[in-house]
Amino acid sequence: MAFYSKDVDPVFHGAGAKPGLEIWCIEKLRLVPVPKSSIGKFYSGSAYVVLSTSVLKSGPTQHDIHYWLGNDANEVDSALASDKALELDAALGSCAVQYREVQGQETEKFLSYFKPCIIPVEGVFTTQEGALNGDTYQVTLLTCKGDHVAHVKEVPFSRSSLNHNDVFILDTASKIFLFCGCNSSIQERAKSLEVVQYIKENKHSGKCEVATIEDGKLVGDSDVGEFWSLFGGYAPIPRDSALGGPQQVDSPGKLSQIGSDSLEKDMLEKNKCYMLDCGAEVFVWMGRNTLITERKTSISAAEDFLRKQERSNGTHLTFLTEGLETSIFKSYFNSWPQTAETKLYDEGREKVAAIFKHQGYEVKELPEEDVQSYINCRGTLKVWRVNGHELSLLPASEQTKLYSGDCYIVQYTYPGTERDESLFYAWLGQGSVLEDRADAVFHMDAIVDSTRGDPVMASFLFPSPTLCAVVAQIAQNKEPLQFFLIFQTLIVYKGGVSAGYKKFVAETGVDDDTYDEKKTALFRVQGTGPENMQAIQVDHVSSSLNSSYCYILQSGTSVFTWIGNLTSSKDHDLLDRMIELINPAWQPISVREGSEPDSFWSSLGGKTEYPREKEMKKFIEDPHLFKFTCTEGKQLVMVLLLLGLVSLSGDFKVKEIYSFTQDDLTTEDVLVLDCHKEIYVWIGRHSTIKSKQEALNLGLKFLQTNILEEELSLEAPIYVVTEGHEPPFFTCFFEWDPSKANVSGSAALVKMHGNSFERKLATLKGKTSSGTAPSRNALKPRSREATPDGLRSRSSSSNGWERSFSPASTVSGSHLKFSDNYSVSSPTPVARKLFTGSSPYQDSPVIEPSSPSTNENSHQIDANETSANSLIYPYQRLTVSSTEPVSGIDVTKREAYLSEEEFAEKFGMPKGAFYKLPQWRQNKLKMAVDLF
């Protein structure tokens, strides 16, 4: 909320008190509020100030200030808007980040406030009543760029404005034409349809036709002929047509970090202002002790600098107050200290409470951590211990007892809304060896691949049914709350019983600290209630104690329960319950902190210092959504990666999606939802990522690059979530509309049909409401980002034998570059050898279908069909290394072209038996005979 001051424009009084947008415009050299009915409408002859206020989940309010300059706005109004933005910041306590926005070159953060787009109109804003537009409808040609926010810009109504790379919207009085350049992306086309819908509703009152024009389509379509007639007839668009809009230059800011020119945080003095020129973006940093007049002078100097340099309008100008530096700004400095500044809400609960109490507000304790379970926790739990190439299914009585030196696979099946859902965890013990960690993810991958559970997911519509289950990789001591809730009660012992751990102990000579009732053991008891409680064995030394917890100390025949001074009656109840679970025969001696007998300390090797202060729970920031894309050649790299022939050496780009909603989950994309304690890798059905190992690698790389400069743990939990199978603990971060979700059922078959463009086109033309699938002939986009059907089918298989996974501890770091997109290098997987001998999954469990399945897994071939195959070739011509290979066959099914006799000779079984095997095992057998 704005503070009252004689230096603050009265129009700002009360600004920022409520979440949402507030907009002001310069009119006759004064600032006037823009009515809510006009929010999102910008005049090219005016200058605006925009305030975005949001209340974070952690409690505090966040403000962002933008001043928007129309292309036809005069210099006086533009300068006044800049001054007023700074004035508004001062009124808000200098706690906002300011951005300069130039018409046609707005930041994505700004555009995210006005979905689907803003379309500036000619003229000047006025508060006077009366229409500004005449009766004649003005035909306009717009170019539309962007996949998650739309950059809409009017271009001359001329054939020369068209090109093959962009999407164009031609708005006429009776019809809206969407022209898609042959090189435009599917996501851009889909986003442009939202703009078309916006124009139809706002300029045509929903009463006009919509036509889609495919670049290069000339024959048999009346809409095509009508479109080109508006340009005076058809003429080819030159192939070398320049890309529309100004091209941003590479940022030279990183060059200043080389040698003596490297940037350090200590260079920034509190009583001065600085400008950091990064080419495509310029920052003005203002120290906390600078006056508002000094800040105005600095901003004016920066704007004047850009004018004299004749910089492109696409150069973004951002103004930062000390303590509010963005992640991008900090990335240009060497090792920006994490403790350099402290946000108000992190300065301590007591201080904040005192401030609010002084202001007359009722002060309450911060709420305890949200222990809500978003899924049914009365489902079926199965746990396997990883033992090299083998899995050991634990009996029900032992599945809540894990060892920190081992790794485990957890399968949890629970009733969903319309079907049973499955959740898989690969739990990596803190003391587990690298081999077991890699095996754990491999085993989880193979188990999921062997399932055929959901008949809808296995239908021909979806190329990758193996991703239907939600999988997660978690490390000990970094478990998400949901993991504990499905176990309800969990005991974690030290040491391990797997062959890999025992071998490690024998080879290194370290002490085997595997739990033994005859040894001294110390357990920390934690949790929130009977359905969420754990006993974790810790080092049996006094420094392991903490006044915020209760402990169980087992020493020979003596058992102590230690109660910390800061614990509650709830903690004491959990302590009693855990004693019963670990060993009901124990008769413990209860010890209060401060009254311990000497025998207690001697069992811990003597008394030393330990934490005695209340553990303050940190506020959790709001989640951030990022788009993850890889560079050119990604298809080939991914295929070779699956085959284990190359490591993933290409680069990736990470771009934040601001003000994200459920609609930003685009089927062609791979998205990362950063929830700070854990991350979710969301995989669209039409994305290039087709295996869980690929998705986990991306998640690991995201953790490593530390995009938000928040020091994410490399062992933070990583969930892999697929489109159509989003669990409630993922959807809770969105305002989730089940009618939009791609869930199972006949309606979903319609919605899931086609890419994002085809889906939105069907919605726009009202076809989904009638239950009719959109026509493939409506528009068949050809895009550089589109995945050819043939390659998709070949790369979609998630093979059980692939070993591209690299645990977090082994992923090597590489260069990270910030610009408009965050550019990162991909992880280097650990090379793994293939299985030898019999498979550990011959009798592996699978997810049982909730209803009878009428479709086989889409990766498998019907045995009758293959046996009747009329195309038969000799084995020598079908092998991968053949010197005279057969052309025109499906190379993913080479074995199908063998005769029955030769097939049985090579595989030792008939085709019918072969195709009943799990997909991973088929691939392994095909590799052995050089057919894969």
CB crowding 211-228: b at 16 or more within 10 Å, else e: bbbbbeeeeeeebbeebb
CATH 1.10.950.10 maps onto the chain at 875-928
Task: Give counts: helices (H), strands (E), the chain.
Answer: 23, 32
The pLDDT tens digits of the residues spanning 365-400 come to 444 445 678 888 889 999 999 998 889 999 999 999
**Do 880 and 932 touch, CB atoms closer than 8 A?**
yes
Q: Flag whether the pTM goes above 0.75.
A: no
Token pair belonging to 454: 């959901």
Rounded distance, CA 766 to CA 774, Å? 9
What is the homologous superfamily of the domain 624-740 according to CATH? Severin (3.40.20.10)
Listed residue (803, 811, 801) closest to 832, CA to CA: 803
What's residue 606's pLDDT? 94
What's residue 827's pLDDT? 34
The string of DSSP letters for 370-416 reads P---SS-SSSEEEEEEEETTEEEEPPTTTTTEEETTSEEEEEEEEE-
What's residue 589's pLDDT? 94
Rounded distance, CA 289 to CA 610, Å? 40
- Please give the class, per CATH, of domain 875-928: mainly alpha
What's residue 426's pLDDT? 95
CB atoms within 10 A of CB 558: 16
CATH 3.40.20.10 maps onto the chain at 10-113, 140-231, 265-332, 372-451+466-514, 516-610, 624-740
Enumerate residue ranges in the chain where pLDDT < 70: 1-7, 57-59, 129-136, 218-220, 240-261, 338-371, 451-468, 616-620, 630-652, 709-711, 741-753, 767-870, 918-921, 924
CB atoms within 10 A of CB 350: 10
The string of DSSP letters for 867-885 reads HT-S----HHHHSTT-SSP
Rounded distance, CA 412 to CA 399, Å? 12
What are φ and ψ of residue 401, in 5° steps? -125, 110
Q: What is the CATH number of domain 372-451+466-514?
A: 3.40.20.10
Listed residue (349, 341, 263, 276) closest to 315, CA to CA: 276
**Do 654 and 660 touch, CB atoms closer than 8 A?**
no
Q: Look at the domain 140-231 and name its fold.
A: Severin (3.40.20)
Rounded distance, CA 686 to CA 697, Å? 19
Q: What is the CATH number of domain 516-610?
A: 3.40.20.10
Listed residue (497, 496, 499, 492) closest to 478, CA to CA: 492
Q: What is the CATH number of domain 10-113?
A: 3.40.20.10
The pLDDT tens digits of the residues spanning 614-637 come to 776 666 678 999 998 765 444 434
What's residue 65's pLDDT? 95
Q: What is the CATH number of domain 265-332?
A: 3.40.20.10
Token pair belonging to 600: 């207690």
What's residue 883's pLDDT? 81
Rounded distance, CA 131 to CA 463, Å? 53
